[in-house]
Amino acid sequence: MNINGLTVIAVALAAPWSVTACGKQPVGDFEPGAVADEPAAVAAPATLARTPSPAGARVFFITPADGATLTNPVRIEFGIDGMDIVKAGSNQPDSGHHHLLLDTGLPDVSLPIPADDRHRHFGDGSSSTELTLEPGEHTLRLLLGDYRHIPHDPPVASDSITIRVE
C-alpha cells in the first residue's frame, strides 16, 4: 500500500498465542489488529490433550470428616491412592498435584483448573493446608491436576464433603 509516497507492507501474524501460566485459562487465537479486551478478539480455546489416570486412582480427605463442625483455622489433609503426588510441571506417569475446590462444582475438565479463591492449587506437591473460612457451611472437594493443571482422563476427584465453621 502507498501512503504519502511511502510503500507500506502490512504483515499479518499467523501464529496463535496462548497463556497457560499456573492455573490460568488458555486464551484462543489472537486476531491481528483486534484490541485484546474486545470480546471478538478472543476465540474459544481448543480442547487440550488430557493425561490418562490409572484405573482405581482416587483422592480423598483424611481430615476433616464429612459433617464436621470446626473452628478457624481449618486443618485439611488430602489423601491419594494409585498415583503419586509431584510438583506442578513435573511430567511423570501416574502422578499429579492436588486442587481444593471450595464451595464450587467441578470445573471444565478439558481446561486447566482455574486459580482463584474457589480453586486452591497445591502445585508445590503439598498434601495439607490450613484455611480461615467464613463462619457457616462449606463444601470441599479434591481434584487432581496433571503437570499442566489439567484434570486427568478420567478425572481423579473426591466426593464432596460438607463442613460447618463456627
Q: Is the dihedral of CA 123, 20, 161, 54 positive or negative?
A: negative
Can you tell me which residue has the cell 491412592? Answer: 81
The pLDDT assigned to 48 comes to: 81
The model carries a pTM of 0.73
> How wide is the angle at C-alpha 99 spanned by C-alphas 97 and 100, nearest 5°?
145
Q: Cα–Cα–Cα angle for 105, 110, 114, nearest 5°?
A: 55
pLDDT tens digits for range 93-130: 999 999 999 999 999 999 999 999 999 999 999 999 99
Give the Cα separation of 81 and 78 in Å (integer).
Answer: 11
Neighbours of 113 (CB within 10 A): 24
Strand partners, 74: 131
Share of the chain above pLDDT 90, in %: 70
